Amino acid sequence: MQHRSQPIDLVRRTPRQQRAQETVEIVLEATARILERKGRAALNTNYIAEKAGISVGTLYQYFPNKEAILVAIARRDLASDQECVIKAMSEPSKDGQAGLVRLAIRALITALGRRREVRQAAFDALVSEGFGNELAQSVQRIAQMIGAASNRFLPSRPDPISPTSLFVITRAVSGVLRAASQEQSPLLGTQEFEDELVKLVQTYFAEPAAE
């Protein structure tokens, strides 16, 4: 993995006003559409600016290059993924632990299934530009959220989920999800795939049989 000694200047101008924020969103969406329709090879700042309906000079006020735009998309997606998991974990579940686990896993699967080509290109850029640790940090934050809500996930468990257990199961689930996304597996999004991940979590936390 390539690491830069100094991170690239991702945003040249912080979009504080609503109009500036809208411009950034337009740039990100134009980039995503190019990736979906023509692939990474067609991506360049002139083409992005054209599709965004702005001048390339305006684009450069916010982003120094196309890689910075892709990194911004990856960061937006990571934040969205976390919001989806938080929302899923706050939903009432009629099925107790199994229902909450399923809701959280379904939220992640749904997020990964959206605009796969765009996500893959964005996350590839995040890693290649030296920010791959942000993927791990995202998983860490999700693990912390699950740990904080362990009484809802495992109401019959007398003790909180240990940090080691959280690390193992969240990395196991995220690893399977990432592999399915990177391999563009047809399993992603199927009921069987979701069921197997739910089973993985349930089995991992199942109480050991009494001897």
Please provide the distance, in angstroms rounded to a whole number, between the alpha carbons at the two ends of the chain.
Answer: 47
16 has pLDDT over 70: no
Average pLDDT, whole number, for the chain?
Answer: 83
Token pair for residue 20?
């500036």
Please state the rounded mean pLDDT for residues 141-170.
77
CA-to-CA dists, residue 168 to 102, 116, 162, 165, 175, angstroms: 18, 26, 10, 5, 10
Per-residue model confidence as pLDDT tens digits over 58-101? 999 999 999 999 999 999 999 988 888 888 777 766 655 557 78
The fraction of the chain above a pLDDT of 90, given in percent, is 39
Per-residue model confidence as pLDDT tens digits over 112-131? 878 888 998 999 999 999 99
Identify the structural domains of the chain with CATH numbers, from first to last. 18-205 (1.10.357.10)
CB-based burial label for 186 (10 Å; 0-12, 13-18, 19+): exposed
Per-residue pLDDT at 8: 45
What is the band of 155 on the pLDDT scale with cuts at 50, 70, 90?
low
The model carries a pTM of 0.79
Please state the rounded mean pLDDT for residues 153-181.
82
Output 195 or 142, whichever has higher pLDDT: 195
156 has pLDDT over 50: yes
Residue whose entry in the numeric block shows the structure tokens 């993995």: 1
Per-residue pLDDT at 153: 66
Angle, CA 196 vertex, CA 194 and CA 201 arms, to 5°: 100
CB-based burial label for 163 (10 Å; 0-12, 13-18, 19+): exposed
